[in-house]
Amino acid sequence: MYRGLDIGTAKATPEERGRVVHHGLDLVEPDQPYSVAQFRDHALGALRSLGARGGVGILAGGTGFWLRAVMAGIDTDALPSDAAVRAGIEAELAGGGVAELARRLRALAPGLARRTDLRNPRRVVRALEIATLRGDAPLPARLGYPAPAVGLQLVLEPLEHRRRISARARSQFDAGLVEEARALRERFDPSLPAFSAIGYRESWAYLDGEITLEAAIELDALHNAQFARRQRTWLRSERSLAILDAQADPLPGALAALDRLLPIADAAGVGA
């Protein structure tokens, strides 16, 4: 969604966008706040428009939390927030790290802690803010997309997955990731949440002479492999996903899953 973060986020190219319409790209500048609730509203608007025309939308990429917010999300606007409380928690994060905050969250709101990625500092800070203000009360009602949907999970053998991640990291650096990261740091504060995307801090470490270019590429691949492992863990909690072998041709399996969905959509009188 951030403008200018193109290579590092593997954003669809202009040529790809010319072949298939993409939504949710280039919505805000890197220094503009953008919440999961705003993304959910944008995505649901695009899906409703597609459904009204009898189209099928494909929600791809991103973190599991954002995908879930669209398909089976909660009313995040109903959750409390307090800038002073959050500032205090962020100061604690800077001083003591995410592990101590996660320990506090587990003690204060064990139910919320179980639903939170406790290795993600931003998620832990927000969860602890909510827990401080409302305790461990149940979450608000869900506000997901009110039409049939099918979940597809592409899987690879672990060694092949790691090989592709490494090849992807190298191709991004070859495509100019370092130059993109340099230009962005000249315009924006490098501590912005937008730059938590993998690839930018690794590029800056190379630009600052802290590591070699080869080490930056390897570190990028390592961080992406760790992220992929967390994604697999998250997806295990998602029900009714059609598992597709990405080393073979996954298209027949995807079409078969869609064929099973469409009669449900037709019966409900809505687009998928």
pTM exceeds 0.85: no
220-227 contacts, C-beta under 8 A, 24 or more apart: 220/169, 220/172, 220/173, 221/162, 221/165, 221/166, 221/168, 221/169, 221/170, 223/198, 224/165, 224/168, 224/169, 224/198, 225/161, 225/162, 225/165, 227/198
pLDDT of the residue at 225: 95
How confident is the model over 248-267, as a mean pLDDT?
73
CA dist 221 and 228 (Å) reads: 10
Q: In terms of pLDDT, which residue wins out, 77 or 248?
A: 248
CB 34 within 8 A of CB 27: yes
Q: For residue 32, what are the contacts with CB-CB under 8 A and spacing of at least 6?
A: none
pLDDT of 1 strictly over 70? yes
pLDDT digits (tens, 9 = 90+) for 94-122: 988 999 999 999 999 999 898 888 988 88
Four-way CATH pick for 80-134: 3.10.620.30, 1.10.20.140, 1.25.40.10, 3.40.190.10: 1.10.20.140
Tokens, residue 82: 């307090």
Locate the domains of the chain by residue range: 80-134
pLDDT digits (tens, 9 = 90+) for 181-222: 999 999 999 999 999 999 999 999 999 999 999 999 999 999
